[in-house]
Amino acid sequence: MDAKLEKKLAKAKKEVVCGQHKVAEEGFREVVAADPQNADAHLGLGFSLIEKGALDEACGHLRTAYALRLDENTAYALGHVCTHLGKLDDGEKFLTQAMEIAPYRSDILLAAIFAYEQGHKLDEAEATAQRLLDHNPNNFSARHLMARILRRQ
């Protein structure tokens, strides 16, 4: 990737952190157009589109990023979006991969609990919540979800 494109990608990433998702989206789109094999640009564009509420389009870019480079961030984002789109089997698959890469990352575990709940897999949801609580007993979100799961069983 040339220096100009690297600069554009770095600026788009900075815009995401600053909450300037529209500006970031434009930057990521430019990088994707110039370098369609850039996993970072597809991932960043996917995140920007999630913020915009364009989940179907985000899913496409996240799938491209996933095909180009598997890491926990890509698998997590893709699993999260698939779950919210009602593609529960895909959501669980990607979140399981994310958990294999980063077994105690709380945002991934919380997303997996939500996906299991949505799919009415309460035993898996409970086991994942327990895993998170075993690692971090003070995680309020995990405690809240565990109580909700136990009430539903």
List, for residues 71-87, the tens digit of each pLDDT value: 999 999 999 999 999 99
CB burial of residue 133 (10 Å; 0-12, 13-18, 19+): middle
Cα–Cα distance for residue pair 37/32, rounded to 1 Å = 7
Question: Hey, what long-range contacts does 82-87 have (CB within 8 A, 24 or more apart)?
Answer: 83/111, 83/114, 83/115, 83/118, 84/55, 85/55, 85/56, 85/59
Confidence of residue 1 (pLDDT cuts 50, 70, 90): confident
Q: What is the pTM of this model?
A: 0.88
- pLDDT value of position 63: 97
- pLDDT value of position 153: 80
Give percent above pLDDT 70 in the chain.
100
